[in-house]
Structure 1
Amino acid sequence: MITVEHLTKRYGNHPAVDNVSFSCEPGTVTGFLGPNGAGKSTTMRMICGLTPPTAGTATVSGVPYRRLGNPGRHVGVLLDASAQHAGRTGREVLSLAALTMGVDTREVPRTLDRVGLNATAAKRRVRAYSLGMRQRLGLALALLGDPAVLILDEPANGLDPEGIFWMRGLLRDFADRGGTVLLSSHLLREVEAVADHLVVIGGGRVVAQGDKAELLAATGTLVRALDPAALDLVLKRAGLAGTKTTDGGVVVQAGAEIIGRAAADAGLVLLELRPAGSGGLEQMFLTLTAGDSVKEAVR
């Protein structure tokens, strides 16, 4: 189990992470989402003891990461697929890790095969690996110690569609066998396919968290009008906040009846009025991280 309580990280006067709290239960995949600069990587680095927090705590199985004895046997971490010695072969990278963790080196070829790196790839030096191959090697390092927890930051970067599908199955199987997975990714459709719970962060703060199905069912109402400009005016007059979608609609944090009455009173012709949840995780993400949170993330 991963427990994050009131984590805060400030660089001078800038709050990179601001009072973030959430937990990841065994047997689940938790999707950790947010725009660039929102604080995802900083949060994950604090969980793994790489960045000291300004305030708050993070524990894995009830213990801070730095106090875990032989942490690789408890937590598999992949934060940067390029953080590997470029002059070593894939097999050498894993063999050294196995010796460090006290893992039988006979597990090395099995683990390489598990992540789709064959004998030829195992003999190749990391500098010759593609990004996708480095991601697979990084995942092999994370899995080598047979941990109960995986913390993965953008593990699907560089993978082709087949590789992404494979990773989804691997993570789902890991969780179904009782493991805990914290997964950060920009591939929202893949997160939607594999995650049980979601934590959405924007501007260093948690803007939503909970069961995936419940969050997707509560993302507001999608409305589309024959006259988009008139719709904007109607919503403003009614005091309703809206977020524009890429296909000309507006997601409003209000019920369909309220929006429909406001449109009818103004004589506005609506083309669509439905729950926005049917737009999936992508629509929810855009709705929750629009506005102030995104502006703060890119300052």
Structure 2
Amino acid sequence: MIQVEHLTKRYGGQLSVDDVTFTCRPGTVTGFLGPNGAGKTTTMRVLCGLSRATSGSATVDGRAYADIPDPGRVVGVLLDAGATHPGRRGREVLSLAARTMRLPAERVDEVLALVGLAGRPERLRTRQYSLGMRQRLGLAVALLGDPRVLVLDEPANGLDPEGIFWMRGLLRDFADRGGTVLLSSHLLGEVEAIADQLVVIGRGRVAAAGSKEELLAASSGEAVLVRSLDDEALVAALQATGVGVTPSEEGLTVQAGAEAVGRAALAAGVVLTGLRPVGGRRLEELFFSMTQGSELGEDRPDAPDPHAAPATSAQEASR
């Protein structure tokens, strides 16, 4: 489980994260969303021990990353797919990481096959990799220690549609087996397809947090789409009760619940041929409505940080 509690981070006079609190529970994928500079990357760097909080905490299973023995076996991290040494071959990157985690060589073979880099790709130097291949290698390093938690920053960058579909299945299976996933991505459609929970951040603060269904439903209000054999009579019956009705090509959009529509139709003797909830606004609309104009300034993961913690052995091995 991931717990971020009242986390604040300053880079000199620049406030990057401001009193952020959220929880990611086992068995779920949490989409971590916000515009550039909102504080996402800084929050994830603090969580993964690459920067120290000014105040507050970010823990995995109740412990700070730096306090976890052999952390690669507990939390898999992908924050920068381009961080691998360009002269090392794909298999070499994984073999070095496996040695730091005291893993058998067979585990390298397993993850190479899992991410689709077995065979010729594993023998290439990473400078020859496409961005999508580097993302797959980064995911392989994150999964190598068979962790319980994954922290991933833009893991779908550079993946083609087939690769994105593959990654969605991989992460969904990981969560369904009890794992915890914190996923930051600008591909909002993919986040909407896979996430169970959402955390939306803007100006370094949490703008919204909760289940995907609750947040999207709350943004739209109660409404149903109705089709009938006599729309004119149904509209008259609904309007007589003070309910708003808007005709559309799909039918009638009614600003009321299914029970109210059914009672009005019954009283008017109208046969309904279709009745379903109107989907809430898509994630893109929710995102923009909550974060418009909220940029605090670019996240500064590369800025000098006098409190930055040294990289872990697993992270060094992947560079």
Q: How does 1:204-223 map to 2 (within 5 A)?
A: 204-220=204-220
The alignment partner of 1:23 has SS state of strand
Post-superposition offset of 1:298 = 6.1
Q: Residues of 1 paired with 2:278 and 2:198: CA distance?
A: 17
- Name the counterpart of 1:26: 26
Match of 1:18, as an amino acid?
Answer: D
Which of the residues 284, 287, 292 maps onto 1:285? 287
The alignment partner of 1:49 has SS state of coil
- Name the counterpart of 1:186: 186
**1:103-158 residue CA offsets vs partner (Å, 9 max, x unmatched):** 11111111011001131000000010000000000000000000000000000000
Match of 1:132, as an amino acid?
Answer: G
- Asked if the contact 1:19/1:56 (under 8 Å) is kept, the reply is yes
**1:180-199 residue CA offsets vs partner (Å, 9 max, x unmatched):** 00000000000000000000
- Name the counterpart of 1:177: 177
Match of 2:285, as an amino acid?
Answer: Q
Gapped runs of 5+ residues in structure 2? 222-254, 257-276, 300-319
**1:62-98 residue CA offsets vs partner (Å, 9 max, x unmatched):** 1110000000000000000011111110000001111
Q: Larger relative contact order (C-alpha < 8 A, sep ≥ 6)?
A: 2
Q: Residues of 1 paired with 2:153 and 2:111: CA distance?
A: 20
Post-superposition offset of 1:290 = 1.2
Post-superposition offset of 1:220 = 4.9
- Asked if the contact 1:35/1:297 (under 8 Å) is kept, the reply is no
Post-superposition offset of 1:276 = 9.4
Post-superposition offset of 1:218 = 1.4
- Asked if the contact 1:219/1:276 (under 8 Å) is kept, the reply is no
Q: RMSD across aligned C-alpha pairs, in angstroms?
A: 1.7
Q: How does 1:7-156 map to 2 (within 5 A)?
A: 7-156=7-156
Q: Residues of 1 paired with 2:214 and 2:43: CA distance?
A: 24
The alignment partner of 1:82 has SS state of helix
- Asked if the contact 2:195/2:212 (under 8 Å) is kept, the reply is yes
Q: Residues of 2 paired with 1:164 and 1:14: CA distance?
A: 35
Q: Residues of 2 paired with 1:298 and 1:57: CA distance?
A: 22
- Asked if the contact 1:202/1:297 (under 8 Å) is kept, the reply is no
- Asked if the contact 1:277/1:283 (under 8 Å) is kept, the reply is no
- Asked if the contact 2:132/2:157 (under 8 Å) is kept, the reply is yes
The alignment partner of 1:278 has SS state of coil
Does residue 197 (structure 1) correspond to residue 197 (structure 2)? The answer is yes
- Asked if the contact 1:29/1:182 (under 8 Å) is kept, the reply is yes
Q: How does 1:216-231 map to 2 (within 5 A)?
A: 216-220=216-220
* Number of residue pairs aligned between Structure 1 and Structure 2: 246
The alignment partner of 1:53 has SS state of coil
> Could you tell me the TM-score, scaled by structure 2's length?
0.75
- Asked if the contact 1:276/1:283 (under 8 Å) is kept, the reply is no
- Asked if the contact 2:220/2:281 (under 8 Å) is kept, the reply is no
Q: Residues of 2 paired with 1:91 and 1:298: CA distance?
A: 34
Larger radius of gyration: 2
Q: Residues of 1 paired with 2:34 and 2:19: CA distance?
A: 15
> Could you tell me the TM-score, scaled by structure 1's length?
0.79
Match of 2:141, as an amino acid?
Answer: L
Post-superposition offset of 1:11 = 1.8
Gapped runs of 5+ residues in structure 1? 222-255, 258-274
Q: Residues of 2 paired with 1:290 and 1:185: CA distance?
A: 17
- Asked if the contact 1:277/1:284 (under 8 Å) is kept, the reply is no
Q: 1:144 to 1:91 in 2, by over 3 A?
A: same
